[in-house]
Amino acid sequence: MTPTPSRTAIVTGAARGIGAAVARRLAADGFAVAVLDRTEGDGKQTVAAIDAAGGRAVAVGADVGDPDRVRAAVDQVAAELGPPGVLVNNAGITRDNLLFKMTDDDWDAVMWVHVRGAFLMTRAVQRHMVDQGWGRIVNLSSTSALGNRGQANYAAAKAGLQGFTKTLAIELGRYGVTANAIAPGFIATDMTAATAARVGMSVADFQQAAAAQIPVRRVGTPEDIAHVASFLASDAASFVSGQIVYVAGGPAA
């Protein structure tokens, strides 16, 4: 008997940027979406946009690195929207610095959100997917996983998510659950705008310089990532698992 796919998705870090675009796209695909961010209030704008477009969404507040809050958040989603069948681990922060200037807190904060957060969220959600015999896990990595000056913490976290993804694919495949990662290149978000400010460039000049190095001659948008997440969350991607999809406008390495 073919399992009936759950139509509930959780997107972490969905208040803005890539997470918000993914949440909106999954809602347009027919999923009820839990917009998870640090506080419930942070996700209200994304929820309002989904509601205005005729979709269904709720805002959920949780620190993804706190196991108690993660368990409570997933239980809340299951109660309000139904058992989650799609999880997009997008929550992330940067604490960029050269290695000799990087503090213990800089390192730990990035690992807490990216790696610990993805682990805790996935562990909490996978039981619902296994029970249903269907699930889609999409982790947000980055081209920085290949190495990037000033981002030892971020690069290590994003590379770690790639190994995490491949292991999930091996462990959960027999239960009808796939796991894949998207590794964006330069995407125009608040995070890259903050990087521009840190290096003393205007956002426009920073993006123009980046686009000149990209084969398609433009920077990416959050919607570019949302399109790929939509596919990986679909039934059409049932034979795609354990893959790292670089969405960077050209070869990533």
Task: Report pLDDT digits (tens) over 35-74.
Answer: 999 999 999 999 999 999 999 999 999 999 999 999 999 9
pLDDT confidence band for 106 (50 / 70 / 90): very high
Q: List the structure tokens of 31.
A: 């999923």
Residues 213-228 have a mean pLDDT of 97
Residue 61 makes CB contacts below 8 A (sequence gap 6+) with: 36, 37, 38, 39, 40, 41, 42, 43, 73
Q: Which of 154, 164, 186, 246 is catalytic?
A: 154
Residue 66 makes CB contacts below 8 A (sequence gap 6+) with: 120
Alpha-carbon dihedral 123, 125, 126, 128, rounded to 10 degrees:
140
| Active-site annotation holds for 154 | yes
Q: List the structure tokens of 184.
A: 């964006």
**pTM passes above 0.85:** yes
Q: CB atoms < 10 A from the CB of 99, how many?
A: 11
Q: List the structure tokens of 74.
A: 């997933």
Percent residues over pLDDT 70 in the chain: 98
The pLDDT tens digits of the residues spanning 120-174 come to: 999 999 999 999 999 999 999 999 999 999 999 999 999 999 999 999 999 999 9
Angle subtended by helix axes 17-28 and 44-52, to nearest 10: 30
Separation between Cα atoms, residue 37 and residue 15, nearest integer Å: 6
Domain 8-185+220-247 has CATH 3.40.50.720: yes
Q: List the structure tokens of 177.
A: 């659950």
